[in-house]
Structure 1
Amino acid sequence: MSSLSAKIQDVFNEPACETNRGKDAKARTKGCSKPLTPGAAAGGCAFDGAKIVLQPITDVAHLVHAPLACEGNSWDNRGAASSGPTLWRTSFTTDLTELDVVMGQGERKLFKAIREIKEAYGPPAIFVYPTCVTALIGDDIEAVCKRAAEKFGLPVVPVNAPGFFGSKNLGNKLAGEALLDHVIGTVEPDDAGPYDINILGEFNLSGEFWLVKPLLDRLGIRVRACIPGDARYFDIACAHRARAAIMVCSTALINLARKMEQRWDIPFFEGSFYGITDTSEALRQISQLLVNKGADPEILGRTEALIAEEEAIAWKKLAAYRPRLEGKRVLLNTGGVKSWSVVHALMEIGIEIVGTSVKKSTVEDKERIKQILKDDNHMFEQMAARELYAMLSERKADIMLSGGRTQFIALKAKTPWLDINQERQHPYAGYDGMVELVRQIDLAIHNPIWCQVLEPAPWDCQPAVREDLPSTKSEIATVQAFKKFAGTTAGDFGEC
């Protein structure tokens, strides 16, 4: 446990994180967790964060060593997609009971579960996740995994991130540490080339990675490993032979990117595939890093040609939406890389940003927002539900883009809403993804339902009564009932 404590402290002292470097030594040991606000949800735990990062590895069996509820609460917690294996969609848990805990049967039951998975599914690897219960009772996960790997002849990876360790973000980083310690660098590929890259922090939500990969394929750039979106165990094990890397979500895997650069000299940069300009810039930087590592400089010319072609197509498609969306006001209640990349993408077609959340955003993210918006008056760290509702009900925004947890605030305020977080149903990355994002915003804003829900309810309206027609409520009701019976309408009596 002492080595594990040292690893956690190492994660807390991440030198590549600008926010962390700005803290004093005492504050740095507390990590990135914030005190809970009374009445607010605590958010995910470290176990949840580790599962988010590793579960999209599609051909691996993910075994949760815990009572049943831990697996039930964390299964399928993101809308990642797979182009092949479906084993990751199968839930595996040791399902510890009170009797197992009292009788000390946890380790024995874990070993048996690993053997059953090996015999029934034959996966290339098994990832084992301890949780609060099994960590507190002292089950030696690493010893069991080591013995099982020797016995069954396949990698059994311990992912030491019990929930009580800390926040979801800490769990993200501990998952990266597990990959560094047990997976990356364990297999030597026989086809390494000068155009191999890694993509870190891309989860392939709704298949977004599949909108980006064809662009790289056309440039002759091979994605050695996308971690974790639509990943395979063998690809991640060979990831140390990539020549460059792009980090899409720095708050999750900054430690993984930095240590891969230190150990295997893989330079990285933080980029985004949201929006036309940012997608183009990401492609340019990838090509430049590869050239710096020895690739043929002619790839730079091919990259510019591809960018020019794809931008022309995208802008032509977006031209149809500009008259309908120009000047529309958008409120973004998201965070991380989307806090600036989506802002930039929407402003490119004339949409006004009335506010954007910088929750989970790094210092670099906030600086980018300031450069894009020219000031920081539209940035907010956190906005209470009451404040969001007040802003929307006063019609200060035409639509809110956020995650599912705040959708009902927008619906209560009778304001259009679009999901851009992990539960979204449409991919928004790359050039085609930007067109799809704008199309979904257009559909949401111009949905005729909003005109109807903003009108007074029929029971709040008084009918306009003509002088030559019955005027008392009883007379009107009698005539309306008669006309309904006769198959006609009562439209002659006025409307709201």
Structure 2
Amino acid sequence: MSSLRAKIQDVFNEPACEQNRGKDAKARKEGCSKPLTPGAAAGGCAFDGAKIVLQPITDVAHLIHAPLACEGNSWDNRGAASSGPTLWRTSFTTDLTELDVVMGQGERKLFKAIREIKEAYGPPAIFVYPTCVTALIGDDIEAVCRRAAEKFGLPVVPVNAPGFVGSKNLGNKLAGEALLDHVIGTVEPDDAGPYDINILGEFNLSGEFWLVKPLLDRLGIRVRACIPGDARYFDIACAHRARAAMMVCSTALINLARKMEQRWDIRFFEGSFYGITDTSEALRQISQLLVKKGADPEILGRTEALIAEEEAIAWKKLAAYRPRLEGKRVLLNTGGVKSWSVVHALMEIGIEIVGTSVKKSTVEDKERIKQILKDDNHIFEQMAPRELYAMLSEHKADIMLSGGRTQFIALKAKTPWLDINQERQHPYAGYDGMVELVRQIDLAIHNPIWRQVREPAPWDCQPAVREELPSTKSETATLHVVQEFAGTTAGDFGGC
């Protein structure tokens, strides 16, 4: 536990974070977690955050050393996609019981589970995750992993991020530390070249990185490792031989990018593949970093030619949507890199941003938003569900883009909604992804269902009485009533 405590303090003291550098020594030790509001959900724990970062490594067996519910609550918690291996989709857990805890059988059971996975699946590596229970009872995960690695001849990586140590974001960073300590740099590639790069903090949600990788392939740029989206263990182990890196989500893995730069001189920049302008700028910066590291300068000209070609195609496709979407108002309730990258992307086609959240956004993210919107009134840290509902029900926005957690607020307000968080079903990265995002927004806003659901329901309206019904309760009177309502139109209802 002492080594874990030291690791946490090291992660809290992040020199690459401007907000962290602005704190005094005491405040820096407290990290970035905020005090919880009584009755509010705390969000994911550190274990959940570590699992989010590492599970998309697709050919690795992810073993949870804990009671069964820990794995059940964290399995497949993001919509990452794989182009090959499916082992990451299989749940492995030691299923620790009360008896195992009382009798001290945790470490023995963990060693046995590692052996069974090795014999049944033969993965290139096994990642072992302790959780609150196994950390509290003192199971020595690192010792068991070392012994198993020696015995079975494969890497067994301890991911020391039990849930109680902190927030999901802290777990993201502890996962990056595990890669640095046990994976990256452990294999020397025999094909390293001057055009190798790493992409960090890219999760390949809905397979959207597959829309970007062909662009890099056309430039002759090889993605040595995409961490963690659609990654392979061997690629990550060789990631230290890349010449440059792009950081997509600095909130999650800024510590990984900084330490790789310190250890192996892999310079990085933070960019985005959302939107036409940001995608083009990301390609330019990648090429410029490679040239600084010794690549042929001719790649700069090829990059500009590719950008010009792809932008022309994308703008031609988007021209059909501009008349239908120009002036439409969007409320963006997300966070992190999407809080500014999606804003910029939408404004490029004339959509008005009435508000964007900066929850989980870094200081750099917030500065980018201010530069793009040029108005702090459209930026909010967090908006309560009641306020979101009021804004949407008063028709101050034509559509809300957010995660699934707030979709029902929009639906209750009878407002179009589109998922842009990790549960989304469509890829939005790159030039083609931008076209797809605009297409989905257009489909959502102009769906005829919204006009229908905003009309008053027939049972909420009083029918206009055109003649007095007979006082008798005969079959004739009953038939008269049925005919009266059967012939009633929407215009016959009072107040509708």
**Scaled by the length of structure 2, what TM-score is found?**
0.96
Deviation of 1:287 after TM superposition, in Å, equals: 0.3
Q: 1:440 maps to what in 2?
A: 440
CA contact (8 A) 1:484 1:490 kept: no
Looking at structure 1, the residues matched to 47 and 281 of structure 2 have their Cα atoms a distance apart, in angstroms, of 35
Preserved CA contact (<8 Å) 2:355 2:379: yes
Residue 493 of structure 1: CA displacement? Answer: 8.9
From the superposition, tell whether residues 491 and 186 of structure 1 become closer, same or farther in structure 2 (CA, over 3 Å).
same
Closer, same or farther in 2 for the Cα pair 1:457/1:485, shift >3 Å?
A: closer
Measured at CA, do residues 29 and 485 of structure 1 come closer, stay the same or move farther in structure 2, by a change above 3 Å? Answer: closer
- Asked if structure 1 preserves the Cα contact closer than 8 Å seen for 2:462 and 2:493, the reply is no
Q: Would you say the 8 A contact 1:227–1:236 is kept in 2?
A: yes
RMSD over aligned Cα atoms: 2.3
Change (3 A) 1:136 1:474: farther
Whether contact under 8 Å (2:198, 2:225) holds in the other structure is: yes
SS of the equivalent of 2:495 reads coil
Task: Tell me the residue number matched to 2:372.
Answer: 372
Structure 1 residues 433 and 470: alpha-carbon distance in aligned structure 2, compared to 1, 3 A threshold:
farther
Q: Secondary structure at the match of 1:455?
A: coil
Aligned counterparts of 1:472 and 1:414: Cα–Cα separation in 2: 43
Higher mean C-alpha deviation, range 480-489 or range 457-466 = 480-489
Task: Quote the offset at 1:38 in angstroms.
Answer: 1.9
- C-alpha deviation, 1:9, in angstroms: 0.4
How far apart, in 1, do the equivalents of 2:131 and 2:72 lie? 13
Give a deviation string over 1:243-287, Cα, whole Å, max 9, x none.
Answer: 000000000000000000000000000000000000000000000
Deviation at 1:492, TM superposition (A): 8.5
1:290 and 1:474, CA in 2 relative to 1: closer, same or farther beyond 3 A? farther
Is the 1:65–1:128 contact (alpha carbons within 8 Å) kept by the matching residues of 2?
yes
| Count of aligned pairs between the two proteins | 496
Structure 1 residue 459, shift from structure 2 partner = 1.1
Query: Against the structure 1 CA distance between its residues 304 and 474, is the aligned structure 2 distance closer, same or farther, given a 3 Å change threshold?
Result: farther
- Measure, in 2, the Cα distance between the counterparts of 1:361 and 1:139: 35
Q: Which structure 1 segments of 5+ residues have no match?
A: none
Does 2:215 match 1:215?
A: yes
- Structure 1 range deviating more: 17-26 or 352-361: 17-26
Q: Distance in 2 between matches of 1:154 and 1:493?
A: 75
Gaps of 5+ in 2: none
Query: CA deviation digits over 1:386-438, x for unaligned, max 9?
Result: 11111111111111000010001111111111000000000000000000000
Matched residues in 2 for 1:237 and 1:243: separation?
15
Distance 1:214 1:268 in 2: 21
Change (3 A) 1:453 1:485: closer
Mapped to 1, the partners of 2:100 and 2:249 lie a distance apart of 39
For the 8 Å contact 1:463–1:495, the answer to whether it is kept is no
Q: Quick one: structure 1 residues 168 and 471, their matched pair in 2 at CA, closer, same or farther if it must change by over 3 Å?
A: farther
Match of 2:397 in 1: 397
Deviates more, 1:450-459 or 1:96-105: 450-459
Query: 1:495 offset after TM fit, Å?
Result: 10
Identity of paired residues, percent?
Answer: 95
The secondary structure found in structure 2 opposite 1:366 is helix
Counterparts in 2 of 1:480 and 1:122: CA distance versus 1, 3 Å: farther
The verdict on how the C-alpha distance between 1:490 and 1:430 changes in structure 2, with shifts beyond 3 A counting, is closer
> 1:191 — aligned with what?
191
State how far apart, in whole Å, the 1-side matches of 2:494 and 2:455 are: 16
CA change 1:410–1:475 in 2 (3 A) is farther
How has the CA–CA distance of structure 1 residues 53 and 185 changed in structure 2, closer, same or farther, with 3 Å as cutoff?
same
Mark the CA change 1:237 to 1:474 in structure 2 (over 3 Å): closer, same or farther: farther
- Shift in Å, 1:478: 3.7
Offset from partner CA, 1:443-476 (integer Å, 9 cap, x none): 1111111101111110122334557999999999
CA pair 239-459 structure 1, distance change in 2 beyond 3 A: same
Q: Which residue of 1 aligns with 2:73?
A: 73
CA distance in 2, matches of 1:116, 1:488: 71
Alignment of 1:286-325 (within 5 A): 286-325=286-325
Q: Deviation at 1:156?
A: 0.1
CA, structure 1 residues 491+96, in 2 after alignment: closer, same or farther (shift >3 Å)?
same
Query: What is the TM-score of this pair, normalised by structure 1?
Result: 0.96
* Residue 18 of structure 1, CA deviation: 1.1
